[in-house]
Chains A and B, each alone.
Chain A
Amino acid sequence: MSKAKSSIVWLQGLTCNGNSHSFLNYSHMESFASSFDMLYHPLLLGDTSFDAILQSDTPFDFLILEGALSRDEDIIRKFGYPFHKVLDELASRARYIICAGSCASFGGIFRLKDEAKITGALFSGKSRGGYWSEKSNVINIPGCPVHPAWLIDTLFLLKREAKVSLDEFLRPKEIFSYLTHHGCLRNEYFEWKVDSKQLGEKEGCLFYEYGCQGPMTHANCNKILWNGVGSKTRAGSPCLGCTEFDFPKMKLYETQTNMSLPQTPFGISKRAYYSLAGIAKSFKIERLERKLIDEKDN
């Protein structure tokens, strides 16, 4: 794939359209449009009808999947056809299959309706083997929704023939080697184990009471931010762990503990974490107990 435009077909499974709307938030869309032809997108008017694409046998570069998948035609149909006929046909002509969002990657929320029949493309939750048991050209870009930059940056890299390293869940490492925790403005409260006393405040860490999955969730949300300005933790809400295979966990707003002990941050042993946490908790840091901005000081 060189200077010529790369072609995309965007196909929806069981979806809320959230990934499509997130895609529409991409802030350099003209640049994107100058390098890519969107042969079909369910929300955008284009030159070609879906049927025409389906009936042709022309190969194209990217099949973007949005939504959970199923081979059961009682569960999903598309344009009057059983969904699997449409997907199998398009997949056979696509150079890459890009799963945009957690539903296409792992099954996501809608998988919970019928875990045996509703899956992601190559995964069903954590287990390898989803809609397909094996396929070599699938890349997962999970998230509920996917961040537009995650999707489009990856498309550009693939178009340039750049090597895109993937982790064990087929996620691009440049994005998913980071944790949501990285860049969180509440990091200092995490370091010193100062819990959020209550929601709706800038102070305190959401990890101990409010279920924040930031230290276990692979995504660079707090590095690149959403819509240019925000993230869940910046809006005072816990990370819901939406880029992971087990999204959505039960009790999204309450920390799950075993004998009061939370799950430890990704790759940190319990011994290391508990001893450090116990030590940090032994101190009362006055500055971190106060409001970040105390209007009374003025």
Chain B
Amino acid sequence: MDKKSKKSEKILDAALLLFSKNGFYATTIPDIARAMGMSVGNIYNYFSSKEKLAKEIIKYSSDILGEEIRKVNEQQASSQQKIRDIVAVYFDMASTKPQHINYFLRVYLANKEVFKEGCEGMLCVSAFVTELMIFFEDGVAKGELRNQDFFSAFGLFMGYLGGFVFLNGEGVLTKDLNDYVDDIALNIYNALKFQ
């Protein structure tokens, strides 16, 4: 990675933290510049607007999560095992790098007006969604998962995980997030399995 790319990634990381903590509108480019120890003008050399930066961040997060799920997809394992691995990857990310999931829930989903041009449909979350498509298709092809509409399965899977991370963020869970992996994975598997 060249120097400019490295710097870009650092800006993405810093902005991601601020956006996910304070929200899109409450975070300004000067805030990000301050966190980076850069001038505001210099930030604009990397990202021409705050909206542009926000769109790059969602792609950046989606790529990171997609990459983790891709590793799961490439394993020789049953769909049940893969569901467990995907849940574990997701919760691990929510615990160790909560900014990614928080950004998705609190910035991307909550401020669609920011993303409507340039992030149409699945455009900016394609890396992550594609991996789930591959997982689902493979599971049905192997006869392990029930054939159904993609979104009915996707909604069940990601809605459940997103909701749980939200509960965790609210501090209402009695146990550590990672302690729920087995039960949740089993619930998802039972809902999706071929019968």
Is chain B in direct contact with chain A in the complex (CB below 8 A)? Answer: yes
Which of B122, B134, B136, B137 contacts A282, CB < 8 Å? B122
Once the chains bind, are A282 and B130 in contact (CB under 8 Å)?
Answer: no
Once the chains bind, are B130 and A274 in contact (CB under 8 Å)?
Answer: yes
Once the chains bind, are B137 and A259 in contact (CB under 8 Å)?
Answer: yes
Which residues of chain A come closer than 8 Å to B123, judged between CB atoms?
278-279, 282
Q: Number of contact residues on A: which range applies?
A: 10 to 19
Which of A258, A279, A283 contacts B137, CB < 8 Å? A258
Whether A260 sits at the interface, judged by CB under 8 Å, is: yes
Number of interface residues of B (CB under 8 A): 25
Give the one of A259, A261, A278 with max B CB within 10 A: A259
Once the chains bind, are A278 and B150 in contact (CB under 8 Å)?
Answer: no
In the complex, A220→B170 CA distance in Å? Answer: 60
User: Given A259-B149, A260-B151 in contact, is the A278-B130 Cβ separation under 8 Å?
Assistant: yes
Interface flags for B100-133 (1: CB within 8 Å of A; 0: not) read: 0000000000000000000011110011011101
Which residues of chain A come closer than 8 Å to B70, judged between CB atoms?
271
In the complex, A259→B130 CA distance in Å? Answer: 13
Whether A85 sits at the interface, judged by CB under 8 Å, is: no
User: Given A259-B148, A281-B121, A282-B121 in contact, is the A275-B136 Cβ separation under 8 Å?
Assistant: no
Q: Which residue of A lies closest to B151 (CB)?
A: A260
Which residues of chain A come closer than 8 Å to B130, judged between CB atoms?
271, 274-275, 278
Partner-binding segment picked from B9-17, B47-55, B139-147: B139-147
Whether B153 sits at the interface, judged by CB under 8 Å, is: yes
| Distance (whole angstroms) from the CB of B126 to the closest CB of chain A | 5
Whether A270 sits at the interface, judged by CB under 8 Å, is: yes
In the complex, A257→B151 CA distance in Å? Answer: 13
Which residues of chain A come closer than 8 Å to B153, judged between CB atoms?
259
Interface flags for B63-94 (1: CB within 8 Å of A; 0: not) read: 00000001000000000000000000000000
| Distance (whole angstroms) from the CB of A165 to the closest CB of chain B | 32
Once the chains bind, are B133 and A261 in contact (CB under 8 Å)?
Answer: yes
When A and B form their complex, what is the total count of cross-chain residue pairs whose Cβ atoms lie within 8 Å? Answer: 59
Once the chains bind, are A259 and B121 in contact (CB under 8 Å)?
Answer: no
Within B135-184, which residues are at the interface with A (CB < 8 Å)? 136-141, 145, 147-151, 153
Which residues of chain A come closer than 8 Å to B121, judged between CB atoms?
278, 281-283
User: Given A259-B145, A259-B150 in contact, is the A274-B120 Cβ separation under 8 Å?
Assistant: no
User: Given A258-B137, A259-B153, A261-B133 in contact, is the A279-B147 Cβ separation under 8 Å?
Assistant: no
In the complex, A261→B138 CA distance in Å? Answer: 10
Once the chains bind, are B136 and A259 in contact (CB under 8 Å)?
Answer: yes
| Distance (whole angstroms) from the CB of A273 to the closest CB of chain B | 9
Interface flags for A275-288 (1: CB within 8 Å of B; 0: not) read: 10011011100000
Which of B120, B129, B140 contacts A258, CB < 8 Å? B140
Q: Which residue of A lies closest to B145 (CB)?
A: A259
| Distance (whole angstroms) from the CB of B57 to the closest CB of chain A | 18
Which residues of chain A come closer than 8 Å to B134, judged between CB atoms?
270-271, 274
Within A30-54, which residues are at the interface with B (CB < 8 Å)? none
In the complex, A261→B141 CA distance in Å? Answer: 10
In the complex, A209→B104 CA distance in Å? Answer: 32
**Which A residues contact B (CB, under 8 angstroms)?**
257-261, 270-271, 274-275, 278-279, 281-283
Known: A259-B140, A271-B134, A278-B123. 15 other contacts (CB 8 A): A258-B138, A258-B139, A258-B141, A259-B139, A260-B149, A260-B151, A261-B133, A261-B150, A270-B134, A270-B138, A271-B70, A278-B126, A278-B133, A281-B121, A281-B122
A-B contact list, 23 entries, CB within 8 Å: A257-B147, A258-B137, A258-B138, A258-B140, A258-B141, A259-B136, A259-B153, A260-B151, A261-B133, A261-B136, A261-B150, A270-B133, A270-B138, A275-B127, A278-B133, A279-B122, A279-B123, A279-B126, A281-B121, A281-B122, A282-B121, A282-B123, A283-B121
